[in-house]
Amino acid sequence: MGRYLLALDQGTSSSRSLVFDDDGRLLALAQRELRAHYPQPGWVEQDPLEIWQTQLDTARAALAQAGLRAHDLAAIGITNQRETTLVWDRRSGAPLCPAIVWQDRRTEPQCARWRAQGLEPLVHERTGLRIDPYFSASKLHWILTHVPQARARAVRGELAFGTVDSWLLWQLTGGAVHATDVSNASRTLLFDIRRHCWDEALLSAFEIPAALLPAVRPSCADFGLCRAELLGAEVPIGGVAGDQQSALFGQACLAPGLAKNTYGTGCFLLLHTGNTPLSSSNGLLSTAAAQTEAARPQYALEGSVFVGGAVVQWLRDGLRVIGTSAEVQPLAASVPDAGGVIFVPAFTGLGAPYWAPQARGAIVGLTRGTTVAHIARAALESIAFQSAVLLQAMQRDVQAHGGGPLTELRVDGGASVNDLLMQIQADLLGIPVVRPAVTETTALGAAYLAGLQAGVFRGVDDVCARWRAERTFYPTLSPPEAQARLAQWEHAVRQVLTP
C-alpha cells in the first residue's frame, strides 16, 4: 500500500485534485475551470461530461506534478459541490440532461406548491432542511417532469440519480458502484437524518421513484476501486463527503461546539453538534456531518450564504472594476471604511436565516462621494455581514439547547486568504477568527476520510493532532460598535425583502 492520498475536489467553478502525504501536507494541486451555463434567468447548468473530464484531467496532472504513480496512493477521497443534481442512463452511463446546479432557482414555483400543501413540517422533521430550490429533490422532480420519457424510464429502473459524488463514483468504477455518503444524501430533501435511510413518505410526496437512488454509506467506507486504466493502477476509494462537511472534518471540528466557515462561491458555516441533530428556531439547517462509522452518526447546524466570493467575481466580470479577484483587497483597503455604503448581494435570493428566494441585490447608502473603492469594501463587508448573522443565529440555537458560547471560528476557502476580510469578520463577530496552516481543508477532509479507511491514520484523534493554525485575527471593534454595524446591515436587508 502506498502512503499518499489523492483528494478529488469537484467544486462549482472548478475541478481540482490534490495530493497529500500521510502527515496531511499538500504536495501537489491541479485545477481546471468548469463552465456554468445560464439558459434562462435563474437557471444554472453544467455539463456532466465536462465535470467528469476536468476531474480526471486534474487527477492525472496532480499525480504527475507530485512525481507519483497510482501505485503510490493508499486511497482516493472525493468531496463535491452539494445538491447539484444529475441523472444518467444505467446501461450507457450517458447523462440524460445537463446537471442542475445548486444555485439554480427554476423550481421555486414547485417548491411553493409543496409548501402550500403543508409539507414543510414533515420535511423539517425528517431531513432537518426546508423546502427550497437549493436542495436536490425539486431539481430531480423537474427533470422527471420535463425530460421526455424520464419518469417512465426511472420507474423501470433504467436511470440513476446522484449528486456529483455519485456521478464521479460511477465514472471512476466503470458503473460498478452507485452510491453516496450520508453527508450528501442529507442534502437531497429525501433522506431521514435520524433513521439514516431514504424516506418513503418524502419520496411519495415528491414523486421520486426509489429505483433512481444510490446506496448510502458512511463517509469513511469502501466505495469501490478506481479503474486501472484511468490512473495506471486500481486504487481504493475510501472517503466521500459533501464539500462543507468535508471542510468541517478537515478543520478538525469533530467535537460539539467547534465551527468553521468556508469562503467560496458562497459561504458555508457549520457547527458540530455531536451525535444528536439540533432543531433550529432561527432559520438554520440540521444536517449530517461526515460519519466515520455506521454506528456513530454525527450532525451539524449549517447556514448558507448564496453569494460570498461570487460578489468579488461580479466586481471583476460584471462591473469590470478590477482585473483579478486579488485586486479587491488593496482597492478595499485604500479607504478606511465603506463610507456608509451597504452592499446586499442577493443575486439569487437570500439564504439562511432569511430564506427569501425572491430577494434581489441592492447597494444602498450611495452619495456623490462614493467611489469604486467604497463599493469594493462594501462588497467584502457583505461577505462578513452575512456570515456574522448566521453565527448569531447559530449561537441562539445552541444556547436554547443548553450549549455554551462559541469561542473561535475556524476559516478556510479561497477568500480566507484575504486578511482584510478576515479582520472585518473578527470585528463583527467579537471572537477570534483562526486560519489554518493548510487552507485546503475541503480536500484535506476527503483525504483524511480516505486515509482512515485505508489505515493511514489510526483514528480521529490522529487527524485532530495534525491541525495547525497559521494566523489568528482578533476583534478590534467594541461590542456596541459591532452591533451598530450589524444593525445597518439589517436595515439594508429589510429594503430588499420589502416587495
On the 0-12 / 13-18 / 19+ scale of CB atoms within 10 A, 320 is: exposed
pLDDT score of 347: 86
Establish if 372 belongs to a structural domain. Answer: no
59 belongs to a structural domain: yes
How confident is the model over 430-437, as a mean pLDDT? Answer: 94
The DSSP string of 88-116 is EETTT--BSSPEEPTT--TTHHHHHHHHH
> Would strands 191-192 and 225-226 be described as parallel, antiparallel, or unpaired?
unpaired
| Residue 159: per-residue pLDDT | 97
Instruction: Report pTM.
Output: 0.87
Residues sharing a CB contact under 8 Å with residue 270, sequence separation 6 or more, in sequence order: 244, 245, 247, 248, 253, 259, 260, 261, 287, 289, 300, 301, 302
Instruction: Please state the domain count of the chain.
Output: 1
Contact predicate 240/449, CB 8 Å = yes
Record the cell numbers describing residue 132, joined without a space.
427550497
CA–CA gap between residue 437 and residue 2 (Å, rounded): 25
Task: Calculate the alpha carbon distances from 268 to 81, 118, 251 in Å.
Answer: 12, 28, 13
How many other CB atoms are found less than 10 A from the CB of residue 111? Answer: 23
Q: Under a CB-based contact definition with an 8 Å cutoff, are residues 222 and 453 in contact?
A: yes
Measured distance CA(415)–CA(444) in Å, rounded: 17
89 part of a folded domain = yes
Give the strand pairing for 267-274 and 299-305. Answer: antiparallel
Average pLDDT, the chain: 92
Q: Where are the beta strands (DSSP E) in 349-463?
A: 362-364, 409-412, 433-436
| Number of Cα atoms under 13 Å in the Cβ half of residue 337 | 7
Count of beta carbons in the 10 Å neighbourhood of residue 131:
26
**Interval 64-85: pLDDT, tens:** 999 999 999 999 999 999 999 9
Residue pair 244/411 in contact (Cβ under 8 Å)? The answer is no
Mean pLDDT, to the nearest integer, of 425-442?
92
Q: Are 177 and 238 in contact, with CB atoms under 8 Å apart?
A: no
- Cβ atoms of residues 216 and 182 within 8 Å: yes
Residue 50 lies in a domain: yes
Show the cell assigned to 471.
Answer: 494566523
- In what helix (H) or strand (E) does residue 197 lie, and over which residues does it extend? strand 197-198
Distances (CA, A) of 153 to 24, 75, 132, 164, 178: 44, 35, 26, 21, 17
Is 29 inside a domain boundary? yes
Picking from 361, 357, 358, 306, the residue whose alpha carbon sits closest to that of residue 132 is 357
pLDDT digit string, tens, across residues 184-227: 999 999 999 999 999 999 999 999 999 999 999 999 999 999 99
Tell me how far CA of residue 176 lies from CA of 32, 112, 232, 240, in angstroms. Answer: 26, 38, 18, 16
In the predicted structure, residue 294 carries a pLDDT above the cut 80: no
Range of the domain at 177: 4-242
User: Residue 220 carries which side chain, given as an amino acid letter?
Assistant: C
Burial of 101 (0-12, 13-18, 19+ CB in 10 A): buried
CATH code where residue 53 lies:
3.30.420.40
The pLDDT-based confidence of 269 (bands split at 50, 70, 90) is very high
Per-residue pLDDT, averaged over 434-448, amounts to 92
Is 190 among the domain residues? yes
Confidence of residue 499 (pLDDT cuts 50, 70, 90): low
C-beta of residue 46 within 8 angstroms of C-beta of residue 84:
yes
- Residue 92's contacts (CB-CB under 8 Å, 6 or more residues apart) are none
What is residue 480's three-state secondary structure? Answer: helix
pLDDT for 1: 63
Grid coordinates of 459: 483514528
Q: pLDDT tens-digit profile of 118-159?
A: 999 999 999 999 898 989 999 999 999 999 999 999 999 999
| Residue 192, amino acid | D
Residue 182 lies in a domain: yes
Rounded mean pLDDT of 159-169? Answer: 98
Give a yes or no: residue 338 inside a domain: no
Question: DSSP label at 416?
Answer: G
Provide, for the chain, the percentages of residues in helix, strand and coil under a 3-state DSSP scheme, each rounded to the nearest 5.
40, 25, 40
Which DSSP string corresponds to 383-452?
HHHHHHHHHHHHHHHHHHTT------EEEESGGGG-HHHHHHHHHHHTS-EEEES---HHHHHHHHHHHH
How far apart CA 291 and CA 220 sit, in angstroms, is 7
Rounded to whole angstroms, how far apart are CA atoms 212 and 197?
A: 14
